[in-house]
Amino acid sequence: MTREDEEKFLEFVRSSGDVVVLPYASPTQDFKPLQNLSDSPVPKFSGAYWLFNRSVSKNLSVRFVSTQGYYTIDDDRSSVVQFMRSGLRDKSIYKGRIWAELKYLDRENMVLLPKEAEFSAWYDAVAKWIRKNYKRLEHLIYAGPGALKLIEEGFTLN
């Protein structure tokens, strides 16, 4: 995704419910939604975010990473989509991704259980939007219109 591709993607995501973009890491347990992706409170993780649709889940759990001194969302227990930004450097486009854990471990019974059906359906809708609006380059690799233009201009995909 170029930044323009990303804007359209996030516009769709935000229109799909009560969706907030959360930073990947925070110095406190209080994760404040970001209006701009450049406002990440922990610059080390300025390319990674969580998409949280409060319309389909209230399931948001935070954990402390003591060795690094920051908090992050516990994606094993939370109903969130990880969003990693694509990047541009020199004449290369670095791949981003969306990803979600759709099951969680019930520690009492030691069995994997599905997260909310509404969350899975929302994640599927987000992935479907990408498949519909972007061009498939290879297995699970899609490029938005802006990224395709850069590839046509000689950028390589990394």
Encode the chain (158 residues) as per-residue pLDDT tens digits.
999 999 999 999 999 999 999 999 999 999 999 989 988 888 888 899 999 999 999 999 999 999 999 999 999 999 999 999 999 999 999 999 999 999 998 888 899 999 999 999 999 999 999 999 999 998 889 999 999 999 999 999 99
pLDDT at 71: 96
> How big is the CA angle at 38 (ends 3 and 54), to the nearest 5 degrees?
90
Q: What is the pTM of this model?
A: 0.93
Contacts of 80 (CB under 8 A, 6+ apart): 22, 50, 51, 52, 60, 73, 100
Q: Give the C-alpha separation, 153 to 155, whole Å.
A: 6
